[in-house]
Structure 1
Amino acid sequence: MFGVFEDPDNPGEDKCLPDTYVGPGKKDTQVQLVISLALGLSAFFSFCTLRPRWKSLYAARKRHSDPFLGLPALPDTFFGWMPALYRITDKQVLASAGLDAYVFLAFFKMSMRLFAVMFFLAAVVLEPINHHFLSNTDSTHHFLEDPTTPGDDDGDGDGSFDRAKGYLWSYLIFTYFFTCLTLYFLDRETTKVIRVRQDYLGTQSTVTDRTFRLSGIPKDLRTETAIKHLVQRLEIGRVESVTLCRDWKGLDALMEDRKKVLDKLEVAWSLYLAHRPEQPVGGLPRTRSNGSNAGSGPGDAPVDADEEAGESDRLLRGDQSPVPGRRRPQLRFWYGFLRLQSRKTDAIDYYTEKLLQMDEKIHAARRKTHEPADLAFVTMDSIAACQMAIQALIDPHPGRLLTKPAPAPSDVVWKNTYAPRLTRRIQSWTITIFVTILSIVWLAPVAFLASVLSICTINEFLPTFGEWLKEHEIARALVQTGLPTLVVSLLNIAVPYLYDYLSQHQGMISQGDIALSVISKNFFFTFFNIFLIFTVFGAVTSILDVLRNSLKDTTYIAYTLARKITDLSVFYTNFIMLQGLGLFPFRLLEFGSVAQYPLLRAAARTPRDRANLVQPPMFHYGFYLPTALLVFILCLVYSALPDGYLVLGLGLAYFSLGYFTYKYQLLYAMDQPQHATGGAWRMICYRVVLGLAVCHVTMSGYLALRKAFTVALLVAPLFIATLWFAWNFRERVEPLTRFISLRSIQGGAGESAIDDDGDAVAGGALLRRGSTVDEDREKGLRFVNPSLVQPLEQPWLYQDAPPPLVESDIDDIPGLSQDLGGNSSAVHSPPAGGGYETPPLLRGADTASNASSTVSLGDTHVWRE
C-alpha cells in the first residue's frame, strides 16, 4: 500500500512518509467509479422524472423569457429532451442567451475536441510504449526518495541516451505535440470568439454600446453641459446624453429603508388575511383622508382621526375597530426615557403610516440637488464615436478624464458610482489583501483535512482502526481517497459564496466586473490551495522546508512537483471522476434548489415571497468556471505521463457532461443578467497558458528524476515559447476582447462568424428579429439611478401584483431630461413592455387626480440633446 514503507532499521515495521496523505490503488479508483456512477445516475434519473412535472424550476427561464427567443420546446418524454438540446446550434445559443453564455460553452466545446484527440493519441500511441517499458517495474517507486537526491542506481550521469530509457524521449515528443495542439485549438477558438464578438457587438445598437464611462472629472467640469461641450470638442461624434453621477447615498438609504417597511407591512397583512377569503383587488387604497383608517382592510369600520394628533401619536395609535372574531396583528413599541416604556399598537396601521412618511421623504430627496461626483456616463449618437472615445487618451494629466466601456444600465452598482475614488481603491486593496491572507489561512484546514484522512495519520492516532482498514480494502479506499475527494469538492462548492460576497464589497462599478473578479478569486483558490498545497507543499509543516530548499536549489520545486503529481494521480483521477460523473447530474437536478424549496416555501409568508420562488435562479460563472479550468490544467499535466490516458478520458467525459448540463441551464432553467461581453475568454486563455507552464515544469522534473537531464532541458524552449504566446496574446488579441473595432461597426457583419456543422452563417444571421438579446433586455433603459425613478410599490396582498402608484411632479426633479435651454422634456408614454408608472409622491390626496401621468423608467436625471 502506497503511503507507508518498511523501515530499514526495524524490519517488519511500517513507517509513514510525513507528507504523504493519499496513495494510489486500483481499488480506490474502482470504488470511486461505483460511487460516482451511483450518485450521477440517481440524480440524472430523478431529473428526467421531475423535469416535465416541475417546469416552474426546470424551465423557469423559458417560461419567463420572451416567447420569440426561438428556443424549441423540449419534449416531455424521459430521454426525448436530450436530442432536442443537442440540435440547438451556436447561433441559437447566442441569440437566446447572449455573448457570455456563448463564450462559456465555447470553452467546454473546445475542451471536448482537444481532449478527444489527446485521449486517442495517448491511448493508442503513448500507452503501449509505457506498457512495454514499465510493465515490469513499479512506476512510482522512484519518487519515494528525497527529491534533492533523485536518481536510480546508475550514478549521476546523464541517462538521456541510455537505450533502456529511450522511451523517455516519447514523453518529450508528446509534450511538444500536446502543447502545440492545445495552442492550436486555443488560437482557433480565440479567432472564432473574436469574430463572433465583433459581429455581435458591431451589428447591434444598444445604449450600452454607445455609452462610455468617464471618470476622474475635475470639479470645474462636473456639470452635464460642461461634459457635453468637452466631448463634442473632440470632434469624434455628437453627444446624445450625459448622466453625471451624484451623491445619492441618502436617497438610496431611504429606498432600502422603505423596502424593509414594505416587507413588514406585507407580513402584517398576510398574518391578518391568512384565513380570510381573497378579495378581487390587487392592492389597497392608501390615503390620508381624515375619515378613513389608512391601510385598513376591506370591511373595517372607519376610525375617527384626531386632527390635532402629532406624527408620533398616529404611529402609536392602535386598532380602534377590529374585525369581529379576528384580532389584527399587534406591534410592541418601546419609547420614553431609555425606552423603558412600551405599548402595543396596530401593526398594519403603524407600518402603513410609516410607509406614507417614507414616501414623502423620498419625494423630497428626489427633488433635492445632490453633490456631483467625479464619474459620468456619456452616450454618443453612434457606436463608432463611443469606441473612438474609449480607445483614446483625452487628458494629458494622469488620472483625469479616463474613459472605459460602460456596463449595461441594469448592471451598474450605483452606490459605487458616487463613492470617492480613494474610497474605492481602499476597498479594492483591502479585499485583495484579505483574500491573500485568507488563502494562507486556507492552508491549515486543507492540509489538516487531508492529513486526518490519511492512513498514516490514522495508524498513528487510531492504530486499531488503521489495522482494520488494512484488512478491508474497500473501506480503506473510501477513507483514503473517497473522503479527501469529497472534502475538496465540498470546499469547491462552499468557498465561491464567500468570495462572491467579498467581491460585492470591493467597490466595483458593474456586476459584470464583479462576476469576472469572482472567477479570478475562485480560480486562485482552486489552483493555489487545492492544487499547489496538495502537490508541492503537501502539509503546512513542510511549506517552510520547501521554500528553504527552493532557495538553495532552483530545481527543487520542479522535482517536488513531479514527484507529488505522480503520487497524487489517483486522487486527481477520482476528483475529476466525482466532479464529472457524480456531481454534474446533481447540478442538472439543481439539488440545492430542490432541497431548499420546502423550507423556502414554508418561510414564504407573503405573495411577493411566493412569487420570488418561481423566478429563474441566477447562473454565476464564477462558481463553475474555476473548477473547469482546474480540471483542464490537470488533464494537461497528466497528458504525457504514465496512465495519462485515464485522466484524459475522464476529462473528456467531464467537459462533455458539463457542456450539456450548462447548455440546458443557460437556455432553459437559469438566468445570467451580467453584461461582460465575453470578457471571461481572455481569463480562460491566460489560465490555459498557466496550465501549460505547469505541465512543462512537471514534465521537466519528471524527466530529471529519471536522470534524463538532456531530455529534461529540452523542455525549456517549449516553456519559453508558451510564455511568448501569452505575451503575443496580450498585445495582439486582448484589445479585441475589450473593444469593438471600427471596421466591424462599419461593415464587418457580412463576414462569416459561426460555422455549425460546416454551414457558414453570416454575421447578420447572428441577430434575431432585427435585434439581439441584449437589445431586447435594454429596450427603454437609460443610465439613471433607479432610486430616482423606481416605482414605489404598493403592498402586495393578493395573488395578482398591484400596479405601482403614479407620480405627478416628475418635472420638479433637477436635471430631468433637460435640453440646452433648461426646459423639461419628460416622456409621458412608456415603451411597450418596458415602461413603469412612476412612484407616489404623497402630499395628501392629490395623487388620485394625477393618475394619468407616467414616465419611462430611465428617462430621468440625464441631459439629452
Structure 2
Amino acid sequence: MARLNYLSASNRKYLPPAIKRTSLFGWISTLYRITEDEVIEYAGLDAYVFLGFFKMAFKLLSVCWLVSAIVISPIRYYFTGDYDDDNGKDPEVPEYRLQTDGTLLIDSKKAYLVLYLIFTYVFTFVALHFLMEQTTKVIQKRQQILGQQNSVTDRTIRLTGVPPELRSERALKETIDSLGIGKAEKIVICKEWKKLDGLFRQRSDVLERLERAWAEYLGNDSKQTFNIRPFATTSYPMVYRDEESLPGEQVVPGEQTGLGEQTEPAVDAVPGEQTEPAIDAVGSVDSISSVSGIRKRPLIRLGLLGLWGRKVDAIDHYTKQLHAVDNEILSARERHYASTPTAFVTLDSVAAAQMFAQAVVDPRIGYMITTPAPAPRDIVWENLTLPSHSRKLKQSYITVITGILAVAFIVPVGYLATLLNMKSIRRFWPALGELLDDHPWAQDFVIDLLPVYLYTLLNFVIPYIYVWLSSKQGFVSYGEEELSVVSKNFFYVFVNMFLVFTMAGTASNYWGYLSDSKKLALQLAASLRGLSAFYVDTILLQGLALHPLKLLLTGQLFRFPVFRANCKTPRHYMNLYTPPDFNFGLNLPIPMLTLIITLLYSVMSTKILSAGLAYFIIGFYVYKFQLIYSCIHPQHSTGQVMPIIFRRVILGLLLFQLTVAGSLVLSNAWFFSVCLTPLPFITLTYLWYFQKNYQPLSYFIALRAIERSDEEVEGSESHSEIAQKSSTIDERRELNQTYEYPNLIQELDGPWLAVEGNQIVMATGDGIARKRLTFEEY
C-alpha cells in the first residue's frame, strides 16, 4: 500500500470502451485503432518499446514465412519429397567433389541446400534491417518524448561518492553551482534512516492489528460490510491515492470524481466489460455509533502468543501502542542522522541535469559519480540508504545464488528432455520405457504432450524465483530491479530451457556435448531437426491457448477466492481490487526466446514460422489490451529495455547462423558451410555499431532534443505549470512529487474503519474523522 500512494494520474478515461455489445471480437478493432502515440500516452514508453518488439517480430517473420512458403519449401519438396527439413531423419551424405578444372560438382539430389546458404544471408540482413529500423524508431521517439518532459525526475540526478566535506545541502549546492553547468534548486542528502524504517514497519504491524480489531467490533466481514458494485461507465483499471498528493487538483464537472460517485450513472452497463469495482461500506458513521452500545468490544490476552494472560480491550490496547509508536516516530524525525555518500540534486533545467549525468565531475576515482535519478516513487529507500559495501555484498551473493540455480536447473531440465523420444526414455527410464512399449496411448501422451506442458509450467513458475531474488539484490529503484529480472529470466530460459533442453532431447550424452564446444553446432542442428514437432506444439500452446487466458487475468481470478476470504479490513479490500502490475521481467523473455527459436528454423521449417507468426500476432493484441486496459506498469518509463532486446536478437542471429552451418555440415555440404563464415562478423559489427552510437542515446537525452523543453520553461511561473500542460503519463504521475524521504513527511493517519463513498472513515484521537479518497485512471 505504501507504493500505491505514489501512483498518480493519466487520462485513460478518454479511451474508447474496450468491448462492444454487438461483437465478441469488437475489442480487436478498438485496439487496432489505438495509435503508437496513444500507447505512449496511456501506458508509457516502455509499453511502446515492448509492443514495438512484437511488431518488429511480426514483420520479420512475415518476410521469412513468405520466402519459405513460396521458394524454399516447394524447391525442397521437389528434390526430397519433404516440405520441411525437420523430420529428424539421419541426413543422407551427398557427394561433393572438385572436377579437374577446379569447379565444384554437387549431387543433384542435394542442390536445394544452396538455398540454405542464400537465404541465411537474406534472412540475416532482413532481421538486421528491421532491428536497426525499430531501434532507430525507439530512440527517436525516446528523445522526442523525454526531451519535452519537465518532471522532477527529468531534472534530477543521483550523486554517489559524495566526499564527507560536501555532505551538507549548502556545501554541495555551492560546489554544483560553481561548476557553471546549472543551478541546484533542491538537494536531498540521503542519511542513515534505519531507525525510522524500523519504526514504520512496527507501526504498520500495529495498525494492521488495530484495523482488524475495529473490523471485528463493527462486523466488517465480507458478508456484512462491503457491497461490491462496479462502475458502469468505466472500462479501465483504477488506482487509489490521497487527494493531498496532488494539491490544487481540480475536479472537472461531469466527470467521475470519487469512489462510488458518478454524475450520470449508466443504466446499460456492458456485461463482461472490464470494470473497477467501487467499495461501499455498509457501516457509516451513524452505524458505527449505533453498534457501540450493542456489540461487545474484542478482547485479547497479553500472554505469550495471546494464548494466556490477562484479557484487555483489543482496540484500546492497540490504540495505545499506535500512539506510542507515533510519538517515537515524531521524536525520531527530529534526530540527527549520519549522512551517506548519496544525494539527489534537482537542477533548474533538464539540459543541466543531462549534462551533469553525462559528465565526469571529480578527478578522483569513485567520487561524485552522476547518473540520472530514478523517479521518486520508484526508489527503494531501504536499499538506497544501505552502506555501499552492504549493497555490493547483496549484489554479489544474489549473483552467486543465481549462478548456482542456473546450474542446478540443468538436471531437472535435462531429465525432462529425455521424455521427448523412446530412445532417451529407454536409456534413462528403463521401467517407464517398457511400460510405454506395452501401451501406445500412454507413449503418445508422454512423448507428445507431457513435455510440452511441463516445459510451459517450468517457464511459468521458475521466473518468479528470479523476481524474488532480484528484489533482495539491493537495487536502488524498481526500474533497475525490473531490468535485472529481464536479464536473469532470459538467461534461464535460454540456457536451461533451450540449449540444455534441445541438446538433451536427442543426445544420449548431452553432458559431453555441453563440454565440447566443437560439437555444439552439430548437435544443435541435429537436435533441432528432431524437436520441430515439440517446438510447434509449445509455440502454439503459448500463443493460441495461454495468450488468450491473459485477457482473463487468471492470476487475479485465482487471487480472489484465496485472498478474499482473508479480507477483514477496508484496507484489505482496497488492496484486493488494485489492478495487477505488468512486469516486463516476466513477460519479455519468453517472446524473445520464441523469436530466436523461430529464426533458427526459418530456412528449415515453414510450419514453425507459421506458429511463430501466429504467436506474435496474437501476443501483440493480448499484451496491448493488458497494457492499455487491464494492467499498470508503475515504473518510470524510459525505454531502456530496448538495448536488452537488441543484444538478444543479435544472439539469436548468431545462433541461427551457427545452426545452419551445423546443418550443412551434417549434410556434408562443407563448402556451403564455410561460405557462411562472414555472417557472424557482419552481425557482430552491427552490435559494435549499436554499442558505440545507439546505446548512449538509449540512456541519456541529447541536449538538442531538450531545447524546446527549456524554451517552454522560460517565461513560465513554475515547473508544475509545465507538467500540468503535458500529456505524458510520467509527468502526470510525478506532478508535485519530491525526493524527500517518505518516512519524514508521511502523515500518521489513524486506522481505517470504512470506505464510504469517496471518503475514508478513520479513527483519530479526537473521534471519527473523514478523509477524502480519490482515484485516478492509471
For 1:506, give the aligned amino acid: Q
CA contact (8 A) 2:664 2:670 kept: yes
Cα distance in 1 for partners of 2:771, 2:467 equals 41
Q: Of residues 585, 596, 605 in structure 2, which corresponds to 1:633?
A: 596
| Percentage of identical aligned residues | 39
For 1:545, give the aligned amino acid: G
Indicate how the Cα distance of structure 1 residues 540 and 428 shifts in structure 2: closer, same or farther if over 3 A, else same: farther
Aligned residue number for residue 343 of structure 1: 310
Q: Of residues 739, 747, 752 in structure 2, which corresponds to 1:783?
A: 739
Q: Of residues 361, 371, 382 in structure 1, which corresponds to 2:349?
A: 382
CA contact (8 A) 2:752 2:761 kept: no
Shift of 1:327: 3.4
Shift of 1:494: 0.8
Cα distance in 2 for partners of 1:164, 1:245 equals 73
Aligned residue number for residue 664 of structure 1: 625
Aligned residue number for residue 558 of structure 2: 595
Cα distance in 2 for partners of 1:652, 1:112 equals 6
Shift of 1:177: 0.2
CA contact (8 A) 2:340 2:385 kept: yes
CA contact (8 A) 2:298 2:313 kept: yes
CA contact (8 A) 1:793 1:803 kept: no
Aligned residue number for residue 171 of structure 1: 116
Q: Of residues 53, 73, 83 in structure 1, which corresponds to 2:17?
A: 73
Cα distance in 1 for partners of 2:385, 2:62 equals 50
Aligned residue number for residue 275 of structure 2: none
Is residue 796 from structure 1 mapped to residue 752 from structure 2 by the alignment? Answer: yes
CA contact (8 A) 1:513 1:676 kept: no
Secondary structure in 1 aligned to 2:483? helix
Indicate how the Cα distance of structure 1 residues 649 and 138 shifts in structure 2: closer, same or farther if over 3 A, else same: closer
Secondary structure in 1 aligned to 2:594? helix
Shift of 1:696: 0.7
Aligned residue number for residue 191 of structure 1: 136
> CA offsets per residue over residues 418-442 of structure 1, 9 Å max, x none?
1111111111111111101100000
Aligned residue number for residue 570 of structure 1: 533
> CA offsets per residue over residues 788-809 of structure 1, 9 Å max, x none?
1122222111233765999xxx
Q: Of residues 356, 360, 363 in structure 1, which corresponds to 2:330?
A: 363
Aligned residue number for residue 649 of structure 1: 610
CA contact (8 A) 2:640 2:698 kept: yes
For 1:401, give the aligned amino acid: M
Moved more, 528-537 or 737-746: 528-537
Work out which of the two has the higher radius of gyration on C-alpha atoms and give 1 or 2.
1
Q: Of residues 699, 703, 723 in structure 2, which corresponds to 1:742?
A: 703
CA contact (8 A) 2:20 2:27 kept: yes
Indicate how the Cα distance of structure 1 residues 566 and 175 shifts in structure 2: closer, same or farther if over 3 A, else same: same
Shift of 1:299: 6.2
Aligned residue number for residue 425 of structure 1: 392
> CA offsets per residue over residues 387-434 of structure 1, 9 Å max, x none?
110111011111111011101000011111111111111111111111
For 2:594, give the aligned amino acid: V
Indicate how the Cα distance of structure 1 residues 120 and 540 shifts in structure 2: closer, same or farther if over 3 A, else same: closer
Aligned residue number for residue 858 of structure 1: none
Is residue 529 from structure 1 mapped to residue 496 from structure 2 by the alignment? Answer: yes
Shift of 1:518: 0.5
CA contact (8 A) 2:11 2:42 kept: no
For 2:432, give the aligned amino acid: L
Cα distance in 1 for partners of 2:32, 2:86 equals 42
Aligned residue number for residue 79 of structure 2: 133
> CA offsets per residue over residues 667-703 of structure 1, 9 Å max, x none?
1111111114000011000000000000011111110
Aligned residue number for residue 467 of structure 1: 437
> CA offsets per residue over residues 592-648 of structure 1, 9 Å max, x none?
21122122222111111112222111111111100000001011110011xx21111
Indicate how the Cα distance of structure 1 residues 740 and 339 shifts in structure 2: closer, same or farther if over 3 A, else same: closer
Secondary structure in 1 aligned to 2:14? coil
Cα distance in 2 for partners of 1:137, 1:378 equals 63
Shift of 1:465: 3.1
Cα distance in 2 for partners of 1:283, 1:411 equals 40
Secondary structure in 2 aligned to 1:404? strand
> CA offsets per residue over residues 208-266 of structure 1, 9 Å max, x none?
00001100111111111111111111110111110110111110111111111111111
Secondary structure in 1 aligned to 2:342? strand
Cα distance in 1 for partners of 2:762, 2:193 equals 23
Aligned residue number for residue 773 of structure 1: 729
Cα distance in 1 for partners of 2:740, 2:544 equals 46
Aligned residue number for residue 234 of structure 2: none
CA contact (8 A) 2:206 2:321 kept: yes
> CA offsets per residue over residues 756-796 of structure 1, 9 Å max, x none?
xxxxxxxxxxx995331111100000011211112222211
Aligned residue number for residue 612 of structure 1: 575
CA contact (8 A) 1:69 1:96 kept: no
Aligned residue number for residue 172 of structure 2: 227
Indicate how the Cα distance of structure 1 residues 566 and 463 shifts in structure 2: closer, same or farther if over 3 A, else same: closer
Aligned residue number for residue 482 of structure 1: 449
For 2:495, give the aligned amino acid: F
Aligned residue number for residue 25 of structure 1: none
Aligned-residue Cα RMSD (Å) equals 3.2
For 1:241, give the aligned amino acid: K
Shift of 1:157: 8.8
User: TM-score, length-normalised on structure 2?
Assistant: 0.83
Indicate how the Cα distance of structure 1 residues 373 and 694 shifts in structure 2: closer, same or farther if over 3 A, else same: same
> CA offsets per residue over residues 138-175 of structure 1, 9 Å max, x none?
95688659xxxxx7275999987333322111101100
Secondary structure in 2 aligned to 1:679? coil
Higher relative contact order (CA 8 A, sep 6+): 2
Moved more, 68-77 or 402-411: 68-77
> CA offsets per residue over residues 90-113 of structure 1, 9 Å max, x none?
111111111111111111111111
Cα distance in 2 for partners of 1:673, 1:418 equals 22
Q: Of residues 689, 700, 707 in structure 2, which corresponds to 1:728?
A: 689
Is residue 120 from structure 1 mapped to residue 66 from structure 2 by the alignment? Answer: yes
Cα distance in 2 for partners of 1:251, 1:728 equals 48
Cα distance in 1 for partners of 2:710, 2:669 equals 54
Shift of 1:708: 0.9
Is residue 152 from structure 1 mapped to residue 97 from structure 2 by the alignment? Answer: no
**What runs of 5+ residues in structure 2 fail to find an aligned partner?**
226-281, 712-722, 773-778
CA contact (8 A) 1:283 1:802 kept: no
Aligned residue number for residue 582 of structure 1: 545
Aligned residue number for residue 512 of structure 1: 479
Aligned residue number for residue 238 of structure 2: none
Aligned residue number for residue 284 of structure 2: 280
Indicate how the Cα distance of structure 1 residues 680 and 660 shifts in structure 2: closer, same or farther if over 3 A, else same: same
CA contact (8 A) 2:10 2:729 kept: no
Shift of 1:510: 0.6
Aligned residue number for residue 93 of structure 1: 39
CA contact (8 A) 1:212 1:406 kept: yes
> CA offsets per residue over residues 283-334 of structure 1, 9 Å max, x none?
99xxxxxxxxxxxx7665xxxxxxxxxxxxxxxxxxxxxx55x433222222
Cα distance in 1 for partners of 2:189, 2:487 equals 31
In the TM superposition, 1:550-565 aligns within 5 A as 550=517, 554=518, 556-565=519-528
> CA offsets per residue over residues 51-79 of structure 1, 9 Å max, x none?
xxxxxxxxx9xx99545653222344233
Shift of 1:136: 6.8
CA contact (8 A) 1:222 1:374 kept: yes
CA contact (8 A) 2:754 2:761 kept: no
CA contact (8 A) 1:160 1:710 kept: no
For 2:498, give the aligned amino acid: F
